[in-house]
Amino acid sequence: MKIISISAAVFFLLMSKSICAAGLDELQRFFSEIRSYSASFEQKVLDENLRLLEASSGEFSIERPGKFRWNYTSPSEQLIISDGKQVWIYDVELEQITHRQSSAAVSQTPAMLLSGEGNLQDNFILEDAGQHDNLHWVRMIPKSRDAGFTDVYIAFSDGKLQLLEMIDSFGQTTRMKFNNIKENIDIPDEIFTFIPPPGVDVIEEAS
């Protein structure tokens, strides 16, 4: 019985290490090997008690480094586009555009986070967060106090990004679920180009 118990303990220890490696390996693969990415998404914003504040949905495309097109289609239409140098935020309903340099763009948005690349350890403390609901979770803790969020949780299944949660300093959680995932696809350059429509107000934000 002792031999069986010891063998079982060793087995579960090895399995645990394998699971830990799987989540961190999938995270590193996503940020180092995936050059382009597109998906549809469902987004929820929850308060500190996990009560729903708002829900939205849409689709996005990313090309690293720094290019993205984030298109909210419901409940209202909004575009967030970056060509890697500048960011445009177009609120269609309000007929208002905000323009800023990419270096000054808010880093707490999912678009800015997912379009990043490079060595994650430079900007985050990475921790395995276990396996739940058949998903491998990784916790990313920003090293910078100016990041705008305190924790990021990313979940993978079969090597594909499935969920993203970002928790800000007020305890609010932005939770995103991804579907129709496509990796390393060809995306036309014009997808990441934005020309303000005539007659729409443009607000320039300082860098």
* Tens of pLDDT, residues 48-79: 999 999 999 999 999 998 899 999 999 999 99
Q: What pLDDT does residue 207 have?
A: 59
CA atoms of 1 and 19, how far apart (whole Å): 27
Q: What pLDDT is stored for residue 1 in this prediction? A: 44
Distance CA 103, CA 108 (A): 13
Q: For the chain, what are the domain ranges?
A: 2-204
Q: Distances in Å between the alpha carbon of 207 and those of 4, 11, 28, 100, 104?
A: 63, 54, 30, 7, 5
Lookup: tokens for 92: 């269609």
Query: Which positions ≥6 away from 196 have C-beta within 8 Å?
Result: 88, 90, 97, 99, 202
Per-residue DSSP letter, 50: -
pLDDT at 16: 41
Neighbours of 158 (CB within 10 A): 9
Which position has the higher pLDDT, 62 or 119?
A: 62
In this predicted structure, what is the pLDDT of residue 103? 58
What per-residue confidence (pLDDT) applies to 20? 45
Most confident of 5-9, 100-104, 152-156: 152-156
Residue 148's pLDDT is what? 76
pLDDT surpasses 90 at 3: no
Query: Residue 205 in 3-state DSSP?
Result: coil
Summarize pLDDT for 93-113 with one digit per residue, the tens: 999 999 988 755 545 578 878
Amino acid at 193: T
Other Cβ atoms within 10 Å of 177 Cβ, number: 16
Strand partners, 72: 58, 78
How does residue 13 score in pLDDT terms, banded at 50, 70 and 90? very low
Mean pLDDT, the chain, rounded, equals 84
pLDDT-derived band of residue 12, with 50, 70 and 90 as boundaries? very low
What architecture is domain 2-204? Clam (2.50)
